Amino acid sequence: MVSGDFGSSKTFQFPVPILPPKGGVVSGRRVQHLVARGRGFQVRLPVPADVQCLLRQKELRWSVRTRDPKLAARRVLNATLAFHGLCDKLRRMKGGVMCGRPLFCKV
C-alpha cells in the first residue's frame, strides 16, 4: 500500500499494482495440480480416500489440450473446482449408496 496526502488532514491508502517483469513471465508461483508433460500440460488430481472406491482410482489425470501456460492454469483451476464439487455431491448422496456399492468403503 502507498499512502498519499491529498491536501487534507486524512491520509489515504490505495493499492499499487504489482507489474510482472519486462519479460512478462512471473515466476515463483506454481499452479497446484498442473503438470508440464512434453510440450503440453496435464491436470493431476488426487482422489479423496472416501471417493476412491467409487472411481476405483487414486488419481485422475488428463490433458488440458493447450501449450499456453496461462490458459492451462485457468483450465486447471476450473477443473479443480468442478472435481471438488463432484466429490461433495457424491458425499451428500442420499443414503450414501451409488450403483449398489456403499459410498464409504475401503480401497
What are the angstrom distances between the C-alpha of 66 and each of 1, 9, 103? 36, 53, 35
Indicate whether 89 pLDDT > 60: yes
Is residue 71's pLDDT more than 80?
Answer: yes
> Which three cell numbers mark 15?
493499492
Domain borders along the chain are: 30-94
Q: Which amino acid is at 30?
A: R
Confidence at 75, pLDDT banded by 50, 70, 90:
very high
Task: Lowest mean pLDDT of 9-13, 46-50, 55-59, name the range.
Answer: 9-13
Q: What pTM was computed for the model? A: 0.60
pLDDT tens digits for 3-16? 444 455 555 454 54
